[in-house]
């Protein structure tokens, strides 16, 4: 007897995948095995630009170590608070809630957001290193290697879609969201990691993003809430090095300059955008 995963689709034929033994299989006999860590790779060869796309093992290890300190937990609290105060009661529903975390990395947010709610959680990342670590740590969620630009999910199957700091395709977002489903997008606010940027650039250039304008222009998405969160935190030498290593700033440092990093105060600033799918 197979167990249907209900919302996950085959990357070859787009039909629903079901769990059969240690594999996910579709009605056309396409089969994808679970890795020993517990994830499934649904990324096809023609979707890869390199042999090992996405963040490498070093970045993933650093991100996992940094997030485990709890320094970014105020972002989780902020998202939960915004949804609650905005009367967006999706997580209080008695129905089964499907949450999709796109660009899930090592799964920290996947397993932490609304951790006390009964949610079917699925994390997707193009990095095999990230998904392997996520699946090894979290046996209560489903983790997939896949592309955010060609989602392996059936139409109108997702209640809550989370996307933190990673690329996104709004057409794919609107395709998989249920009517009145919510899309939570987190981007760096203007002064995010300013002190780190000032170590490698002669002049600090604040973060810019067009995602709000793109959401506003999308015919099937409407923004219902935006909020900025900022916190200046004192970081140890280890935390600073992990923070740098988990971001593209790493490639701006010489080896000597990276080795000389020490404890410092860093501004952490997010913008949370909550949008809803409308038909």
Residues 136 and 195 in one domain: yes
pLDDT band at 167 (very low <50, low <70, confident <90, very high): very high
User: What is residue 91's three-state secondary structure?
Assistant: helix
Question: Over 80: is that where the pLDDT of 5 sits?
Answer: no
pTM of the model: 0.93
- Quick one: which H or E segment has residue 143? strand 142-145
17-21, 88-92, 244-248: least confidently modelled range? 88-92
Whether 3 shows a pLDDT value over 50: the answer reads no
Residues 180, 151, single domain; the answer is yes
Pairing of strands 177-188, 221-235: unpaired
Q: Is pLDDT of 53 > 60? A: yes
Contact (Cβ atoms closer than 8 angstroms) between residue 223 and residue 271 = no
Total count of domains within the chain: 2
183 forms beta bridges with 161, 275
201 and 257 assigned to the same domain: yes
Q: Is 162 helix (H, G, I), strand (E, B) or coil?
A: strand
How many angstroms separate the CA atoms of 121 and 221, rounded?
A: 22
Residue-wise pLDDT for 121-130, tens only, equals 999 999 999 9
Place of tokens 């067009």: 210
Q: State yes or no: pLDDT of 185 exceeds 80.
A: yes
Are 23 and 122 contained in the same domain?
A: no
Q: Does residue 44 share a domain with residue 29?
A: no
pLDDT at 91: 57
Both 13 and 59 in a single domain? Answer: no
Mean per-residue pLDDT over the chain, rounded: 92
Lowest mean pLDDT among 4-13, 34-43, 106-115, 254-263: 4-13
The CA-atom distances, in angstroms, between 90 and each of 79, 185, 226, 277 are: 13, 16, 18, 13
Higher-confidence residue of 1 and 165: namely: 165
Same domain assignment for residues 261 and 164: yes
Do 24 and 92 lie in one domain? The reply is: no
For the cut 90, the answer to whether the pLDDT of residue 1 exceeds it is no
Could you list the residue range(s) of the whole structural domain that residue 28 is in?
A: 1-33
Give the three-class secondary structure for 236. coil
pLDDT (tens digit per residue) in 240-276: 999 999 999 999 999 999 999 999 999 999 999 999 9
Give the pLDDT confidence score for residue 90 in this predicted structure.
Answer: 58
Considering the chain, what percentage of its residues have pLDDT values greater than 90? Answer: 83
Same domain? 23 vs 140: no
Residue 161 has pLDDT above 60, yes or no: yes
Stretch 169-196: mean pLDDT: 96
- 81 and 132 co-located in one domain: yes
Same domain? For 170 and 72 the reply is yes
Tokens of 169: 């395709």
243 in Cβ contact with 236 (< 8 Å):
no
Domain co-membership, 24 together with 57: no
pLDDT given for residue 264 in this prediction? 98
């Amino acid at each position: 007897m197979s167990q249907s995963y209900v919302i996950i689709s085959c990357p070859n034929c787009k039909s629903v995948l079901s769990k059969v033994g240690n594999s996910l299989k579709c009605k056309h006999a396409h089969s994808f095995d679970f890795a020993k860590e517990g994830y499934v790779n649904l990324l096809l060869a023609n979707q890869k630009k390199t042999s090992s796309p996405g963040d490498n093992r070093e970045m993933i290890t650093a991100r996992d170590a940094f997030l485990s300190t709890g320094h970014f937990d105020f972002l989780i609290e902020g998202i939960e608070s915004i949804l609650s105060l905005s009367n967006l009661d999706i997580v209080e529903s008695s129905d089964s809630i499907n949450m999709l975390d796109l660009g899930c990395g090592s799964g920290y947010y996947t397993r932490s957001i609304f951790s006390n709610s009964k949610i079917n959680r699925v994390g997707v990342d193009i990095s095999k290193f990230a998904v392997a670590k996520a699946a090894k740590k979290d046996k209560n969620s489903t983790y997939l290697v896949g592309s955010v630009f060609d989602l392996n999910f059936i139409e109108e199957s997702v209640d809550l879609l989370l996307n933190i700091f990673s690329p996104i395709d709004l057409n794919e977002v609107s395709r998989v969201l249920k009517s009145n489903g919510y899309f939570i997008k987190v981007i760096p606010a203007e002064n995010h990691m300013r002190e780190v940027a000032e170590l490698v650039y002669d002049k600090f250039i604040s973060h810019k993003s067009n995602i709000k304008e793109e959401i506003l222009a999308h015919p099937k998405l409407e923004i219902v809430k935006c909020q900025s969160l900022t916190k200046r935190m004192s970081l140890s030498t280890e935390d600073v090095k992990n923070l740098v290593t988990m971001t593209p700033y790493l490639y701006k440092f010489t080896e000597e300059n990276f080795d000389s990093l020490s404890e410092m105060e860093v501004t952490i600033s997010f913008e949370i955008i909550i949008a809803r799918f409308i038909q």
